[in-house]
Chains A and B, each alone.
Chain A
Amino acid sequence: MITGRFFAPGADRRIAITIFVLLAAAIIVPLLNLAVSPASAFYIPPYMVALTGKYLCYALLALSLDLVWGYCGILSLGHGAFFALGGYAMGMYLMRQIGSRGVYGNPVLPDFMVFLNYKELPWFWHGFDHFWFAALMVLAVPGLLAFVFGWFAFRSRVTGVYLSIITQAMTYALLLAFFRNDMGFGGNNGLTDFKDILGFNVQADATRSALFAASAVTLALAVFVTWAIVGSKYGKLLMAVRDAESRTRFLGWRAENVKLFAFTVSAVMAGIAGALYVPQVGIINPGEFEPSNSIEVVIWAAVGGRGTIVGPIIGALLVNAGKSWFTGVLPELWLFALGGLFVAVTLLLPKGIVGMWDSWRGNAGTPRAVPLADKAHTGAGLVSATSKPARSPARNPGEWSWSDPEPQAAE
């Protein structure tokens, strides 16, 4: 195996390769699309560019989840919300760019506002006619929501499954809110029919290629940032919180601040992914807040291998390519395949593809990529086996706790 040599030397090398491949793709794919004649075997049709561009956005979303789940043990079931908020911020900018080319020709109000009898632009739509403002909002809105949400949740020490469930409640509440037409975000239809981005036609091949390149470069940058974070002293703290939150706290670290930082950075990354996604697919609608979407993101990360940086990217690309293929060729079987994948990965590949590859190659020793205690799989308040005996006697029958210190072995 030629590729084997590349995976062998460990994580740092792998990161470099990933970044390199992404940057190469950012140059080569647009070239093959624009410069090569359609007759050539190397020609990549615009359809393929848009599709892979979309996958890269999903990969970025999966990577952002990996930062909090894989490295910090926070299983967020609401990352789709940050993704969608970033998407909405970008969508609002694109809506404003339509100007008087909407069907009603109103220079200020988007079409859906015209036929719902809005007289003027709602206050929160102001400023979105400037790209810089929208770009700022893409970062600020998901970041701020994550900061506020995390500040409350982590300070109250909401952990494990409770946190997962309330993140799900958050995205569900946002889903319902954005479905409301009174909110001024276009209700169920969402925002569509975009024309221009920064003055370029969103449907032009060149724009598509540029968006693809932007997605690839952003993903590469995100890989680098994530790698830098987890490689730093702060990254060690993250993993310490993941593996033994209380011990970290007893050592004098503020676990909630550590988590809050990771959660916020991750939300901003998800927001950027959403912002890149919207101009490529041409629609943003409340369906993106659907809790099932967020759960699907979790499976991408799990398939590829969480806590590996590269894994979630591979997972997102593979699952989505599979989805595109199945829904075209065997539509009836798609849900069986996806469901089977969920079950198979959790049972057979608990560490994901990349994790399995590592164990198979026998070099799972890179400390930052693999949980300290092998059994502390999820970080749901589980601690390593050594602290077990101290607590068991204190429990009465019938009492049960999520922070059960005892990783119950499979029987």
Chain B
Amino acid sequence: MKIFHAMGLTLLLILATLSSSGAAEADLRAIIAKFATVTDFSQTGAVVQELAATSDRAVERPLAALADGNLYIRMADSMVFIGKEGDENVQLFDPLSGEAAGEASPDDLTQIGVNNTLRRTIRDALGTLTLGSKDPTVRIAAADTMFKTPDAANIQPLDVAIAGETVASVKALLEQARAASILVSDQPYADKLAAIAVIGARGDRNAVSLLTFVEANASGDVKEAATAAIASINSTLAIWDAGQNIWYGISLGSVLLLAAIGLAITFGVMGVINMAHGEMVMLGAYTTFVVQQVIRTSFPGLFDWSLIIALPLAFLVAAFVGLVIERGIIRFLYGRPLETLLATWGVSLILQQAVRSIFGPTNQEVGNPSWMSGSFAIGQLAITWNRLWILVFALTVFAVLLYLMKRTSWGLRMRAVTANRRMAASMGIRTPWVDALTFALGSGIAGIAGVALSQIDNVSPNLGRGYIIDSFMVVVFGGVGNLWGTLVGAFSLGIVNKFLEPYAGAVLGKIVVLVLIILFIQKRPRGLFALKGRAVEA
């Protein structure tokens, strides 16, 4: 019986939509035309409400356009259009049908302004309207919106939607939205208690937010139930929070690893105190910027590939600069590590100023490709895509480097030269080239780190400065000359830092980490994974 009832309702709704569309289109146009007369946001809001009240799916298009700031008024005849900004003119489309309606110069158009309050109103209105959408992601978004802005009037459409819903996960969300709406309605206590149970099972921050609101406004059993539900959610969330902190730590660790791994080659393996390392990272980031600029102007379709394209280029650019530095300066300074510090510091100043002269001192925009934007959730763990990809990327780079060093003949030569230059030379290894290529490799790795870091940080001439000290700390802490040490060092520093941060604050947390490193070096003067040797000078 119940099913028939629901089906009937759905059918009715669909019929109503269909029948109204023809007759009501004129009415809708009349309402939309009112946009031309609005003078402030509250008036726009009133028109939006009026449109939403028609419950007509056709208003979705103009409302969505308004929320995006794409609704225009042609000043000549006060007609309302959806506009799409082109190079010079704005292309116009009919607000209801979406048919092209010519184009106009921006000077002849007025954009209808929106603010956050209006956007929220539109979102709520669209939420109700899009409940019946065919696309499950749209339905999820609608359920989410309705959960965040519960309204007693939502209960009925939600009932309809729940009855018609086939996807279990969406259905659960709809039921939670319905429960939220019940809590703010004047339904009986029993229903409210049931609703609290549904929301309590959801168990996320939004649930706490809603329940806190309920707790403050209700009394009796409902209040107690809400309090109990909040306490239960909070205790679960506390565990998730710890997990979240570990994730933040791992993510910070992966950034540190990326920043430090090139240095682990140039400093750790070769013994060059490469102060220009940060600038190699910066060059990589700027290469990404240039690649994106070219793609934006010439091949807009390739934007999502921009990072992949930038990777080899950044490697080549940074490796080439590294090669020049090695051949031009560092090869004269082998065996004098502290002097390489001074020379490379000089190089870093020159590179910074050069980039500043070429690109200007301001930040450059490096966009996130779509696969690196946004986040997803595992349970209550929010994981952002860009951080996840950076972690994957850092580990990949590490694995490749490790393979290169330990399993290839070039890696063998590299290690031979750094272990005993003369012996290696007498075995027929061309040591100068191995030096040059090793330094180029370290610099190139720094360059591709720059591609990844451009996704989360400023792309400015100062980019490298922010990472250089941290990178040195990671390499020294992990043990110079040991790639595994760098890996462990980066992740342990990242996690310790992130665990301290909530208690000590960002600044004090960092100071504590630095002091810990200083103390640690006293305990183990050669770092975490010290190389064993029998050198007398210890």
B336 near A378 with CB under 8 A, answer yes
Query: Are A162 and B521 in touch, CB under 8 angstroms?
Result: yes
Question: In the complex, which of the residues A179, A350, A395 has the most CB atoms of chain B within 10 Å of its own CB atom?
Answer: A395
**Residues 338 to 388 of chain A near chain B (Cβ within 8 Å):** 338-343, 345-347, 350, 375, 377-378, 380-383, 387
Select the stretch in B121-129, B387-395, B416-424 that faces chain A. B416-424
Would you call B511 an interface residue if the criterion is a C-beta within 8 Å of the partner chain's C-beta atoms? Answer: yes
Q: Is the CB of A156 closer than 8 A to any CB of chain B? A: yes
> Among B275, B476, B535, which residue has its beta carbon within 8 angstroms of that of A391?
B535
Chain B: residues with Cβ within 8 Å of the partner, total of 69
Binding site secondary structure of chain B: helix
Q: Which of A299, A346, A401, A409 contacts B481 (CB 8 A)?
A: A401
Judged by DSSP, the binding face of A is helix
CB distance from A162 to the nearest CB of B (A): 6
Residues of A within 8 A of B511 (CB): 173, 176-177
A61 within 8 A of B: no
Are the C-beta atoms of B514 and A169 separated by less than 8 Å? yes
Min CB–CB distance A362 → chain B (angstroms): 24
In angstroms, Cα B526 to Cα A157, docked, is 10
Minimum Cβ distance to chain A for residue B345 (Å):
6
B510 within 8 A of A: yes
- Given known pairs A161-B337, A339-B347, the reply for A405 and B517 (CB within 8 Å) is no
Interface centre among B431, B473, B510, B518 (most CB of A within 10 A): B518
Q: Taking the complex as formed, is A12 at the interface, i.e. its CB lies under 8 A from any CB of chain B?
A: no
User: If A156-B525, A402-B271 touch, does A164 touch B341 (CB 8 Å cutoff)?
Assistant: yes
Bound-state Cα–Cα, A177 to B511, Å: 7
* Residues of chain B with a CB closer than 8 A to A157's CB: 525, 538
Give the residue of A291, A338, A350 whose beta carbon is less than 8 angstroms from that of B469: A291
A398 CB contact (under 8 Å) in B348, B419, B507, B536: B419
Q: A156-B525, A172-B514, A246-B536 are in contact. Are A347 and B337 (CB under 8 A)?
A: no
**Among A162, A291, A335, A377, contact of B350 (Cβ-Cβ < 8 Å):** A335
Q: Does A245 count as interface, using CB distance less than 8 angstroms?
A: yes
> B35 to nearest A CB, angstroms?
49
B334 adjacent to chain A (CB < 8 Å): yes
Least CB distance, B507 to chain A, in whole angstroms: 5
* Shortest CB distance B460–A (Å): 15
Cβ contacts B243-287/A at 8 Å (1 or 0 each): 000000000000000000000000001010101000000000000
Contact with A along B314-349 (1 / 0, CB 8 A): 000000000000000101111111111111011111
A130 interface contact, C-beta 8 A: no
Asked whether, in the complex, the Cβ of B535 is within 8 Å of the Cβ of A403, the reply is yes
**CA gap between A160 and B338 in the complex, in Å:** 8
Instruction: Determine whether the beta carbon of A399 is less than 8 Å from that of B515.
Output: no
- A295 lies within 8 A of B345 (CB): yes
Interface residues of B (CB under 8 A from A): 269, 271, 273, 275, 329, 331-343, 345-350, 352-354, 357, 412, 415-416, 418-423, 431-432, 435, 469, 472-473, 476, 480-481, 507-508, 510-511, 514-515, 517-519, 521-523, 525-527, 531-538
Known A176-B511, A401-B535, A406-B421; further 11 A-B contacts with Cβ < 8 A: A149-B518, A156-B521, A162-B480, A339-B353, A347-B332, A350-B336, A382-B537, A400-B271, A402-B337, A404-B535, A411-B432
Would you list 16 pairs from A and B whose C-beta atoms are within 8 A, ordered by A residue?
A169-B514, A176-B514, A177-B511, A336-B349, A342-B347, A343-B347, A347-B332, A377-B335, A377-B336, A381-B537, A391-B534, A398-B415, A402-B337, A403-B535, A406-B420, A409-B334
